[in-house]
Structure 1
Amino acid sequence: MMEHFISLLASLLCVLTVSYIISSKLRFPVIPIYIVAGIVFSLAFHVHEPHIFEVLGVILLLFFIGLEFSIAELEKNLRAILSVGFIDLVFNTLPVFLVAKLLGFDSFTSLVISVVLYPSSSAIVSKLLIDLKKLANPEVETVLSILVFEDIAAAVLLAILMSFSGGAPSPEGVVKVLIKVSLFIAIAFIAIKNLNKFVDYAFKTFGSSTEFTVLFTATVLFLAVEVTFGFGLSESIGAFVAGMLFAESSYKEQIESVVIPYRDLFGALFFLAFGLSIDLTSFSTSIVLPLTVLLIISFVAKIATGIVAVRLYKLGTKRGLSAGLMLLPRGEFSILVAATKPELVPLTAAYVLLSASLGSIAMKESGRILNLFFKKKPKKKSKLTRSQLLGD
C-alpha cells in the first residue's frame, strides 16, 4: 500500500513539474493547466486522488490567504472595503441566482452556483497584476479592496455551505449555522486581537529557527482547524483565522517564508486532485447551455462591478472597465464551493477553465479592449516651428 502511494505521489509530482514548465513557457496561469493535467492523468491511469491532498491543499491555501490580512489594515480601510465589497457581492450573486433558477435549478443549487461564480481568483489575479506590470494602475486599489472582501466573504460562505453538504437546509438549520459562524467569528476576532502577543512571546522565548517556526505554526494552524470542527464548521474558516492570527505577529515575514513552499506544493496537488476527481463521462451536452449563459452573466456582472465600484475612488468608466476585466478569472474558491454539491463539479470545472483562460487573456489584452471602446485623444500639433522646438 505504501509503495503504491509513493509511486502515485512521484507520478503526480512529475506531472506538476511538467505543468509548471508548460505554464511558464506559455506565460499562462498555472491553475487551469494543473486541472487539465489532472483530467488527462486520470484518463491515462484511472486513478483517483488521495483525500489527504485535497484537505491539506484547502487548509494551506486558506491559511496563506488569511496570512495576507492584517486586522489593523482592515480596520483602517474598512469603509472602502465594505463599500466596494457589498457592490461586488450583490452584483455577482443575485443575478446569477435568478438566472440559475430560470435555467431550472432548485433554490439551494442556485444558491451554491451563485457562490461558485461569485469570487474572483486572488491567486490568478494577483499573479497577473505582477506579471503584466499593472500594479501601478489607479484602478488596482479598487480591485484589491474587492479581493480582500471576497476572500473573507467566500471563506464564511464556504463554511456555511459545507454545513449543508448533505442536502438543502431547513430554516432552523440556516439559523443554527449562522449563529455558529457568528459566534466563531466573534471568538476568532477576540483571539486575533489578543493572542498575537502570545505568538511573539513564543518566538522570543524559544527562538525563531526554521524548525521551530514550522512546528509551532503547524501546531497552531491544526489546533484552530480542530476548534472549527468542534463548532461543526469546515476546516477552511479555521485555517483562514489561523492565518489572520499570524498576520498580526512581528514574525509574519519569517512565517511566510517557511509556509510558502508547503502552500505551493499542496496547493498544486489540490488543483491536480480536483482534475483527477473529474469524471469526463459525467459531462454531457446538457451543460453547454447553462455553462454559456452563466459564463456570460458572470462576466457582465464583474465588468459592471468594476465600472460602478471605481466611482467610489473617483475614477472614470475606462478605469472601471479595466477593473472589471481584472476580476474575470475564477479559481480556487469556486472549486472549494463546488465540492459541497458534487453534481456541480463538471459544470464548475468547465467554468473555472474557461473563466481563468478567457479572463487571463482579457487582462493581458486589456489595452486593446479599452481602445475599442475609448478612442485615444489625438495629440495636438505644436504651433511652434521646427527651429523653435530645436532651440535654434
Structure 2
Amino acid sequence: MNDHALLTIIVLLATAVFLVGLARSLRLPAIFSYLLTGIILGPHALAVVPDLAATRHLAAFGVVFLMFSIGLEFSLPQLLSMRNLVFGLGSLQVVLTTLLFLGAAALMGIPWRSGMILGGILAMSSTAMVVRALADKMELQTRHGRVAISILLFQDLAVVPLLILIPAMAGNPANLPHALALAALKALLVLLVLFFIGKPIMRPWFHFVAARKSTELFMLNVLLVTLGLAWITEQAGLSLALGAFVAGMLISETAYRYQVEADIAPFRDVLLGLFFITIGMLVDIPNLWADLSWVLGILLLLLLAKGTLVFLLTRLFHFETGVALRSAIVLAQAGEFGFVLLALANQYQILPGEVLQPVLGAMLLSMLLAPVLVDRNGWLAKQMVGSYRRNRQRDLGSIRDAAPASAHVILCGYGRVGQSVARLLDEEGIAFVALDLDPVRVRQAQTAGESIFYGDASRRDVLTAAGIRNASAMVITYADTQASQRVLSIAKELRPDLPVIVRAHDDSQLARLEAAGADEVVPEVTEGALMLASQTLLLLGFPMSHVLRRLRRVRQERYQFFRGAFWGSSEPGEDRDSPRLASIPLGETAYAIKHSLRELNLAAFGVQIVAVRRHGIRGREPAPETILQQGDVVVLFGPPQALTVAETRLLAGDLPEALAV
C-alpha cells in the first residue's frame, strides 16, 4: 500500500470518527455523519477520495450485511400475526406511492422505467431511525406505532423484488418483459434450491461448528455462509444483497440467531458506514445549489404526497384521524433502503444525472428532518387536527368521570396479568380503574362492563384523569421494563407517597425498577418457582400447613410488604393490633426535617424503618446517618399504637406523656 492510499484511509477514518462523535453528542443518527464525511471528502468537494469506483466494491458489503441482518430478524409468525396490516396496508403504501411518483415523473418527462424505480426508492422509509425513535418514546405498542412497524416490515420485504427489478430494467427496453420473466424465474429457482437444500443443512452445520468451541471459527463460518450465498445469487444474475437476505433467513431458524447477530454487528455497522460515505460522495454541492428549487420541491412533494397517502390508507383501515396523522408524520421521510436502491440504480445508469442529484438532496434533507418529525409526532398531530384534540379531551373526560373519588387502585395494563389482578380486587370490593393501549381489548372489556379505558399510563394528563391524587395504590403489569420505568417516574412525580407494585420477569430487573420508585417488584420467575416447589412438597407428602408456612417465610424474606399491610387493610375479625405498614410524608413543618434517623431513634417506640422515599426513589433499610428532608416519605412497620407514637415524633417532635410507650 502506497503512502498516499494509507493517508487517504487515515483522513477518512479521522473525519468519520470526529463527525460520528459529534452526531452522538447531538443525539443524531450516525448515518448523517457518514453522509457528511462522503460529501466533504468526495470528488465534488475536497476530492480526498477521488476514485469512487475503488471504494464501491468494499462498500457493497455494507449492504450485504444490512440485508443479512434484515433476514435474521425476519419472523414468519410475526408477519402472520400482523398480516392484515403488513400485507394489506403495507403493500398498498408501497404500490400506490410507487405509482404516485411514477405519475409525477411522467409529467416531468422522465422515462417510465426511471420513474418506476424512482417511485420504489421514495416509497421507502427509515426502518432504523423510526423504530429507534419510537422505542425511545415507548410508542412501539401504540396504535400509530403498530401501523408504522407494519408498513416498515412490508417495505423491507419489498426491497428484495426491487433489487431484482433494477438490473432487469437496465437492459434493452424491447427485451424488458423477457428480462423480467427470466429474472423472476432465476430468483425462484435459486431461492427454492437455497431453501430446500440449505435449510436441512444449516442447523446441523452450525451445531457442528459451535461444538468446536472456537469464537474465531464460528465468526469465519458466519462470513462464509453470508458471502457464499451472496456470491451464488450474484452468479445467477441477481444481487449480492438477495443472497445475504436468504442467508439471514436460514440462520434465523437455528439456535444461533442471536449469537450470529451480535458477532456480525461490528462488520455490518462499519461497512454500512462506508456505504453511506460512498452515497455522500455522489452529492455534487454546486449542482445541488444550482438546483435548490428542485431539491426543495421534491422534498415538499415527498413529505406531503407520501404523508397524505399514508394518512388516507390508515383511515381506510378504520383508524382514527389522530392515529392516521401520527403514522403519516412518522413515515413521511426517505429511508436507508432508498439509498441502497438509489446506488444500484446509479450503478446501472437508470436514473439520469439531472434527476439523481435533486432526488439525492431531497432524500438527505428529509432524513435530517426525520428525527424531529418522529419525536414531535404527537404535538404536530394535535396542532394540525382539532378533532384529535377533541377526541383526546373526550377520552380523558370519560376516564375522569368514571374514576372513583378516592381509595381506588390504578391498573396499568389489562392483559392476562392485569385482568387476574382486577378479578381479585373486584371480589374484595376494591374499586379500580384500568388503563390499556389495546383498542380491541378495551372495547371488549368495556362491553362486558369492566372499568377499563384506553389511555397511556405514562402521560401525566391520563394519570391525573384516572385519579392518581386520591388513589390508594397503583399496579403496573407491563412486561416491558422500560415502559414500567416510564410510568413509575411520572407516577412518583405526581404522587410521591403512592404505593406502586410492579410486575417483572426476574430479579435482574429489580434494581432498575426500585430505583425508579417501585415499592414492591414481583418477579414472575420467583413466583413460578415458589409454586413449583410448593406443589412438589405437597406431592412428596408434606402437610399443607407446613407448605404454607414455608411459602410465607420465603415471601417475608423476599417481599417487604409481606411483613405487614398499610393501615385500614385488616379484615373483620382480624387482630387490629397486628403489625402493619404506614407511610408518613414530611411536610414543611415536620420536626424530623434535618434530623438523622439515629437522632429520632424510632426503634425505641417499637417500629422499624422499612424505607425512606425521596424524589420518587425508594431507599430500603436506610442507614442511621440518613438526614431527612422536606418531601421525604418515611415508611414504617409496627403495631398501630407504636406507629401513632412514631408519627407524632416525626411530625411534632416532643411526645405528650399520654403517648409515651
TM-score if structure 1 supplies the norm length?
0.88
Unaligned runs of 5+ in 2: 408-468, 472-661
Distance 1:64 1:351 in 2: 27
Amino acid at match of 2:182: K
* Identity, % of aligned positions: 25
Query: For residues 212-243 of structure 1, what are the alpha-carbon distances to aligned partners after superposition, in whole Å with 9 as ceiling and x for unaligned?
Result: 22100000011101111121011111111111
Q: How many Å apart are 1:202 and its aligned residue?
A: 2.8
- Please state whether the residue corresponding to 2:389 is helix, strand or coil: coil
Q: How many Å apart are 1:277 and its aligned residue?
A: 3.2
Indicate yes or no: 2:326 matched with 1:322: yes
Deviating more after overlay: 183-192 vs 42-51: 183-192
CA contact (8 A) 2:121 2:342 kept: yes
Indicate yes or no: 2:189 matched with 1:183: yes
- Give the aligned CA root-mean-square deviation in angstroms: 3.0
Task: Report what 2:506 is aligned to.
Answer: none
Match of 1:138 among 125, 138, 143: 143
Q: How many Å apart are 1:143 and its aligned residue?
A: 1.6
The alpha-carbon distance between structure 1 residues 196 and 305, as it changes in their structure 2 partners (threshold 3 A), is farther
- Please state whether the residue corresponding to 1:315 is helix, strand or coil: coil
Query: For residues 42-81 of structure 1, what are the alpha-carbon distances to aligned partners after superposition, in whole Å with 9 as ceiling and x for unaligned?
Result: 2224423422332121111111121111344335544542
The alpha-carbon distance between structure 1 residues 196 and 147, as it changes in their structure 2 partners (threshold 3 A), is farther
CA contact (8 A) 2:68 2:244 kept: yes
Amino acid at match of 1:349: L
Match of 1:47 among 37, 46, 49: 49
The alpha-carbon distance between structure 1 residues 25 and 368, as it changes in their structure 2 partners (threshold 3 A), is same
The alpha-carbon distance between structure 1 residues 390 and 327, as it changes in their structure 2 partners (threshold 3 A), is closer
Distance 1:387 1:74 in 2: 44
Bigger strand fraction: 2
Query: For residues 283-321 of structure 1, what are the alpha-carbon distances to aligned partners after superposition, in whole Å with 9 as ceiling and x for unaligned?
Result: 364573375146425543344325524764x63221121
Amino acid at match of 2:327: A
Indicate yes or no: 2:179 matched with 1:173: yes
Distance 1:318 1:304 in 2: 15
CA contact (8 A) 2:93 2:151 kept: yes
Task: Report what 2:254 is aligned to.
Answer: 249
- Please state whether the residue corresponding to 2:46 is helix, strand or coil: helix
TM-score if structure 2 supplies the norm length?
0.54
Distance 1:75 1:186 in 2: 21
Match of 1:154 among 159, 181, 190: 159
Amino acid at match of 2:110: F
Query: For residues 138-186 of structure 1, what are the alpha-carbon distances to aligned partners after superposition, in whole Å with 9 as ceiling and x for unaligned?
Result: 2222221211111111122122203444565622222222222233333
TM alignment of 1:282-321, pairs within 5 A: 282-283=287-288, 285-286=290-291, 288-289=293-294, 292-293=297-298, 295-297=300-302, 299-309=304-314, 312=317, 315-321=319-325
TM alignment of 1:222-237, pairs within 5 A: 222-237=227-242
Q: How many Å apart are 1:267 and its aligned residue?
A: 0.9
Amino acid at match of 1:328: A
Larger relative contact order (CA 8 Å, sep ≥ 6): 1
Amino acid at match of 1:234: S
Distance 1:174 1:367 in 2: 43
Distance 1:6 1:213 in 2: 31
Distance 2:109 2:295 in 1: 9
Match of 2:389 among 375, 383, 392: 375
Indicate yes or no: 2:111 matched with 1:100: no
The alpha-carbon distance between structure 1 residues 167 and 261, as it changes in their structure 2 partners (threshold 3 A), is farther
TM alignment of 1:1-392, pairs within 5 A: 1-42=1-42, 43-48=45-50, 49=52, 50-165=55-170, 168=173, 170-191=176-197, 193-207=199-213, 209-283=214-288, 285-286=290-291, 288-289=293-294, 292-293=297-298, 295-297=300-302, 299-309=304-314, 312=317, 315-339=319-343, 340-341=345-346, 342=349, 343=353, 344-372=355-383, 373=385, 374-376=388-390, 377=393
Deviating more after overlay: 68-77 vs 30-39: 68-77
- Please state whether the residue corresponding to 1:308 is helix, strand or coil: helix
- Please state whether the residue corresponding to 2:143 is helix, strand or coil: coil
Larger radius of gyration: 2
Distance 2:221 2:56 in 1: 25
Distance 1:382 1:132 in 2: 28
Amino acid at match of 1:187: V
